[in-house]
Amino acid sequence: MITARLVGADAVLAWLRSTPDMAASGLARAITKLGIDLQRKIQEDELTGQILAVRSGSLKSSIDLQIDESGEGISATVSSESEYAHAHEYGFAGTVDIKATLRRITEVFGRPISGKTINVRSYRRQMELPERSFMRSALEDMDPAIRDEVEAALHEALT
């Protein structure tokens, strides 16, 4: 008869029980870092001349990061509430309504005049914006880094 006994069974069992928590903690750190990196890449690379040039900065400042950590997993969501984000990301072709505005003019028929404020009535305009993906392209550029970071976090948690 052969008898075997595992020495340190309690330590092995404790390690096995803590593994899911260690993996979740490591993944949470990695996903949070990757979300911050993606937000920074969109704001500093894609929206600062690489894909779209900054005009007012409202689109750039509207890029938001949300980390959602639930019992089922963790996710990082980078999004924008700007009305222009969707049109630039996917393109747009259609008619838009332009509101009535006041405009200050300093030139008429090519000749300078003293400044005058005029009323511009509302009107409709046909627009065609080409697709200029700044979010999807940034995510695609980061794909190898995302894979490496998640793999490294899991490796670190399990060793």
Q: Which amino acid is at 42?
A: I
Please, how many CA atoms are within 13 Å of residue 43, restricted to the half-sphere of its CB? Answer: 17
pLDDT attached to residue 18: 64
Mean pLDDT of the residues in the chain: 84
Q: For the whole model, what pTM was predicted?
A: 0.73
pLDDT of residue 74: 82
Predicted confidence at residue 151, as pLDDT, reads 86
d(CA 159, CA 154): 9
Regions of the chain short of the pLDDT cut 70: 1-20
Residue type, 81: E
Per-residue burial over 32-62, b if 16 or more Cβ lie within 10 Å, else e, is eebbebbbebbbeebbeeebbeeeeeebbeb
Neighbour-count burial of 74, counting CB atoms closer than 10 A to its CB (0-12 exposed, 13-18 middle, 19+ buried): middle
Number of C-beta neighbours around residue 118 at 10 A: 9
- β pairing state of 63-70 and 73-80: antiparallel
Tell me the per-residue pLDDT of 114-143, one tens digit each, with 9 for 90 and over.
989 999 999 999 999 999 999 999 999 999
